[in-house]
């Protein structure tokens, strides 16, 4: 039989199998610095309100700092008998300074302590992911000027649709990651509320000052309902939801570039430092990093699902089920962080196969929509213009030529009003230049967006 960790009403020691089943220090030890920070702020508040003396506070601060450094250096001994990181740190404190250490838990419970540590960790993790997203945005914006004159086929349904500037493609990814950054900021705001001082579920009768602790730890506010606080893991679920969307956006980018790097597309040459070979086929250069980014997204989605199922049936206040919130949280964070660290240099290092792209740009009638809008500009109703251009495309297909290669009489056979000016809007370059609406792929619009993104990222330095 194992030794009892804490005293109280128990007459029997904890079964060793229970200790192994219930321990969490194997994964929550990564909260050690946040636990120490929260405990020091709590001790300083206890001294301020007179629940411990200034000297006792100094002893607690000094000893907690020493314990934190030992964990940082790998010199601290962990044991499943002490269950979690919080009990490890408090037991070490008590062993070193005795009853002074026993006073630290005054006015708090492990319930609000764990929640506070987790909020501190999530806040820090959000800031790190946000910084990685900015790095990825810089990689895409950094490509824009070099690729400014490059035209790529845009797709819908994986069928060629309209021509777009390569820079327009790169900035499209930036927009997705900017929305992710906005969601991170929202999630941070809701996470940045202090739990400490709500105790187990009902608060405390002791004269604590929660606002003082919030200020010391950089929280924007304190929670308003102790019962809700004890059970709340919304901030964990929300952060992992945002991580899931980031992973999904990375996955769609990876999928597109995997396709573009195939011999069938041939649009991109990926940096070989981010590819691997085959064990049997010596010619292969496989986009394994992109494939793993796409594959690891499944893990992040799984983490979100785990958390949603975890909280779906829990009654108010703390339940031990919530111990299981940390493995999916940590795994989702670690996975997305690793993907982002590779995504930025990969995005910066890929090269467009301009010759291959240029040779195929006249395929797919990418200028058909622009020609339709040319007819609309001459007073032809949109639906009528759509039908007429469809007929012209059919004629071009039969002759195996592009729209620009059709003779004028073919155009006039379908639409007698057309004149030589029709050729002013044909061809992918002219089709791109014709775009003028805000947010479009027209050169003027794209150059404005590049400038806007440069200014925006400069503000994030």
Whether 8 maps to a domain, the answer reads no
Residue 190, Cβ density class (10 Å: 0-12 exposed, 13-18 middle, ≥19 buried) = middle
Q: Which of 302, 329, 359 is the last residue of a domain?
A: 359
pLDDT at position 6 is: 55
Token pair belonging to 175? 């927009």
Contact 17/29 with Cβ under 8 angstroms? no
Catalytic hit among 205, 278, 374, 421:
278
DSSP 286: B
Whether 183 maps to a domain, the answer reads yes
Give yes or no: residues 210 and 335 share one domain. yes
The answer to whether 261 is a known catalytic residue is no
Whether 205 maps to a domain, the answer reads yes
Give yes or no: residues 261 and 284 share one domain. yes
Give yes or no: residues 352 and 421 share one domain. no
pLDDT at position 1 is: 35
Catalytic hit among 86, 115, 157, 249:
157
Q: Which of 83, 106, 129 is the last residue of a domain?
A: 106
Give yes or no: residues 97 and 237 share one domain. no
CATH of the domain at 424: 1.10.40.30
pLDDT at position 460 is: 85
Give yes or no: residues 246 and 291 share one domain. yes
The answer to whether 115 is a known catalytic residue is no
Give yes or no: residues 374 and 348 share one domain. no
Token pair belonging to 375? 């007819």
Give yes or no: residues 64 and 125 share one domain. no
pLDDT at position 86 is: 96
Q: What is the dihedral of CA 32, 36, 39, 43, to 10 degrees?
A: 160
Give yes or no: residues 67 and 170 share one domain. no
Q: How many domains does the chain have?
A: 3
CATH of the domain at 285: 1.20.200.10
DSSP string, 153-186: EEEETTEEEEEEEHHHHHHHHHHHHHHHHHHHHH
Residue 402's domain comprises 363-451
pLDDT at position 22 is: 84
Give yes or no: residues 312 and 268 share one domain. yes
Give yes or no: residues 154 and 45 share one domain. no
Which residues of the chain fall below pLDDT 50? 1-2
Whether 460 maps to a domain, the answer reads no
Place of tokens 């900017």: 178
Q: How far apart are CA 296 and CA 330, in angstroms?
A: 14
Q: Which of 74, 106, 138 is the last residue of a domain?
A: 106
Give yes or no: residues 154 and 291 share one domain. yes
Q: What is the pLDDT of residues 254-291, one digit of tens each?
A: 999 999 999 999 999 999 998 888 889 888 889 999 99
- The total number of residues written for the chain in this structure: 461
């Amino acid at each position: 039989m194992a030794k009892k960790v804490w005293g109280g009403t128990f007459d029997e020691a904890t079964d060793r199998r229970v200790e192994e089943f219930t321990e969490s220090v194997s994964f929550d030890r990564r909260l050690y610095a946040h636990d120490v920070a929260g405990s020091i702020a709590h001790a300083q508040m206890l001294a301020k309100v007179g629940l411990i003396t200034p000297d006792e506070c100094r002893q607690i601060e000094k000893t907690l700092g020493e314990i934190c450094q030992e964990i940082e250096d790998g010199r601290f001994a962990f044991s499943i008998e002490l269950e979690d990181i919080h009990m490890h740190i408090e037991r070490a404190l008590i062993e070193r300074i005795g009853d002074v250490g026993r006073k630290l838990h005054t006015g708090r419970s492990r319930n609000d302590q764990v929640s506070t540590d987790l909020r501190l960790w999530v806040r820090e993790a959000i800031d790190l992911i946000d910084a990685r997203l900015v790095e990825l945005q810089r990689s895409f914006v950094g490509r824009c000027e070099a690729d400014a004159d490059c035209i790529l086929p845009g797709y819908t349904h994986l069928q060629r649709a309209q021509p777009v500037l390569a820079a327009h493609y790169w900035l499209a990814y930036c927009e997705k990651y900017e929305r992710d950054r906005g969601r991170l900021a929202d999630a941070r705001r809701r996470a940045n509320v202090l739990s400490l001082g709500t105790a187990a579920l009902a608060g405390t009768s002791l004269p604590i000052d929660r606002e003082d602790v919030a200020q010391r730890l950089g929280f924007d506010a304190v929670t308003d309902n102790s019962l809700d606080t004890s059970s709340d893991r919304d901030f964990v679920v929300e952060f992992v939801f945002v991580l899931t969307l980031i992973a999904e956006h990375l996955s769609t980018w990876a999928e597109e570039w995997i396709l573009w790097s195939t011999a069938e597309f041939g649009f991109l040459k990926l940096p070989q430092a981010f590819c691997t070979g085959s064990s049997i086929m010596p010619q292969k250069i496989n986009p394994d990093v992109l494939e793993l980014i796409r594959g690891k997204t499944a893990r992040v989605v799984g983490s979100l699902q785990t958390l949603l199922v975890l909280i779906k049936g829990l009654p108010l206040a703390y339940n031990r089920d919530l111990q299981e919130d940390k493995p999916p949280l940590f795994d989702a964070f670690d996975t997305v962080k690793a993907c982002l660290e590779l995504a930025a240099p990969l995005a910066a290092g890929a090269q467009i196969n301009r010759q291959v792209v240029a040779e195929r740009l006249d395929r797919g009638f990418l200028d058909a929509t622009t020609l339709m809008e040319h007819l609309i500009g001459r007073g032809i109703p949109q639906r009528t213009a759509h039908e007429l251009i469809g007929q012209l495309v059919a004629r071009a297909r039969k002759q195996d030529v592009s729209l620009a290669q059709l003779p004028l009489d073919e155009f006039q056979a379908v639409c007698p009003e057309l004149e030589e000016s029709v050729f002013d809007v044909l061809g992918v370059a002219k089709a791109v230049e014709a775009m003028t609406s805000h947010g479009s792929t027209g050169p003027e619009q794209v150059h404005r967006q590049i400038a806007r993104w440069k200014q925006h990222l400069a503000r994030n330095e």
